[in-house]
Structures are given as structure tokens and as C-alpha cells.
Amino acid sequence: MRFETRSQFIENHPTRVHYDNPKMYRWKSWDANTPFAPVYDVPVYIDDCGDKISEDLVELLVTNNIGSRETWTKYNIFSRKEFVIGLLSDRIYQVYTDYMVELEEEPLPRDKLWIRGWGVTLNADEGIDHHSHAFHENTYLSGNISLSDLDTSTDYYFPYLGWYFDYWKVNNKSGNITLFPSWLEHKVDPNTTGQVRFSLAFDMFTEHTMNYISNNRNNSSVLQNIIRLAKRMDHV
């Protein structure tokens, strides 16, 4: 079968696992018959946070000027006390729970999860290069929340599927929350719309991840910016 784009090739790859839930996307290798066969499991979940949360987050980024590239590593947006951050935390935990249920995994309680997030504003012709958020034995989850209805996309690069540079292109619809393993490489295409593109990115951590960071990172500011996934009542 011939596909018009690389993204279509990935989306229709025979190792894709099909779920009744249209929010769940997963590619899983066949059982290996030799010790050298490629083994992979790439589960991605796409849900939404709603228009109101999206609009309030854009206002927060603009009002506080906290979306520029220079600020990404200097704060944690989930440390803020605005009510919308509490709503967002609740929504992320619900999406996370639904994702884990589809994977037939036990969701961790909120007091066993940590999170760090940052706003992202991309001006004309700005994009984000090919990268991943973590790659070690305690890697957990990352997320992207699109806050703009613009003609832009995020490209996810899958291991072993087709040629080295094949990727799955996901259109950035306002309000979409995408959860994916933190090791999954991705990039954001240059913003050619002539408008500012707003989004929010975040990483989720388990106790194992926190211990790993504590034991393997020299920069203590990384740990200082990570907090537990608070409940809405903490944001009033």
C-alpha cells in the first residue's frame, strides 16, 4: 500500500494497536523471534482541556510574559496560584488516569506524581528543534497543550518504523492535550501563520524519577522547580 506522506505511513503502520477509544494511539512491536529484533512500545493519548482553560492560559502567558524561550527553564507554571492552574492540574490528572486505564496500568495517586510546566510562545518563523525530554531508566511522561487554533503541527519521531526520519504529524488544535513517553523525540514546525503560537509543555515524574534526578543532576534548580501535582483546592 502506498501512502502520500510519512505521517500517513506511521498512522497506518501494521504495528499500530487499534482501540475503541479514538483518543488512544499506540504502536507496539511484534513479539521478537530473535534477540536482535527491534522492540518498541509507543503509546500516545490525545484529549482536550476545553476552550475556557485554553483562553485563560493564553491570557496568563501574555499578561505575565512567561512564554519566551529564555524563560522555559526558570520557573514552573504549576507553582502559580491562579485558579486556571488548579483547573488545569485537575484536567491533566483526569486525562492521565484515562490514559493509564487504556494501557491497563494502575494510575498513580496525585500525591505520588510531580510535575513541571512552562508556557511556550512562538513568533513568526520560530519553531522548536528535534528533541526529547528525558532518556533514562526512570523516564515517565511528558505533555503538550496547544493553545492556538493555527495551521501548525508537532511531529513525533518513532523508533524503527520505516526510514530514520519518518514521523507522525499531529495538528495543533486549541485545547488539545497530548500525553506521551518523555523519551519520544519530537519537534514543532516553524510558525508560518503570521500570528503568535501559544502552547504549554510539561513533564510528569514519579518517585523513582525524582530520586534519579536527585542523584544524577548537579543543578539543584531542576529539583527546586518540580512540585507535586496539586489539587484544585490549592489554587484559590
Structural domain boundaries in the chain: 6-29+38-231
First-to-final CA distance of the chain: 55
How far from the centroid of its chain's Cα atoms is residue 233's Cα?
Answer: 24
> How far is the C-alpha of 184 from the C-alpha of 166, rounded, in Å?
13
Say if strands 185-188 and 128-131 run parallel, antiparallel, or are unpaired. antiparallel
Beta carbons within 10 angstroms of residue 133's beta carbon: 21
Q: What pTM did the predictor assign?
A: 0.91
Tell me the residue type at 117. G
> How far is the C-alpha of 141 from the C-alpha of 221, rounded, in Å?
20
> How far is the C-alpha of 203 from the C-alpha of 113, rounded, in Å?
10
What pLDDT is attached to residue 162? 57
Give SS3 for 24: strand
> How far is the C-alpha of 70 from the C-alpha of 126, rounded, in Å?
14
Query: Angle formed by the axes of helices 83-102 and 51-64, to 10°?
Result: 130
pLDDT at 59 over 90: yes
Q: Where are the alpha helices (DSSP H) in 42-185?
A: 51-64, 83-102
What pLDDT is attached to residue 1? 45
Q: Which CATH number fits domain 6-29+38-231: 2.60.120.620, 3.40.50.720, 1.10.10.60, 2.60.120.10?
A: 2.60.120.620
Contacts of 85 (CB under 8 A, 6+ apart): 60, 77, 78, 235
**Which among 188, 102, 194 has a CA at the least distance from the CA of 146?**
188
pLDDT at 83 over 90: yes
232 pLDDT band (50/70/90 cuts)?
low
72 pLDDT band (50/70/90 cuts)?
confident
Residue position matching grid coordinates 522492540: 39
**Which span out of 10-14, 135-139, 213-217, 230-234 was modeled with the highest average pLDDT?**
135-139
What pLDDT is attached to residue 234? 55
pLDDT at 62 over 90: yes
CA torsion sign for 223, 91, 49, 103 is positive
% pLDDT > 70, the chain: 91
> How far is the C-alpha of 97 from the C-alpha of 92, rounded, in Å?
9
93 with 229: CB under 8 angstroms?
A: yes
> How far is the C-alpha of 67 from the C-alpha of 198, rounded, in Å?
8
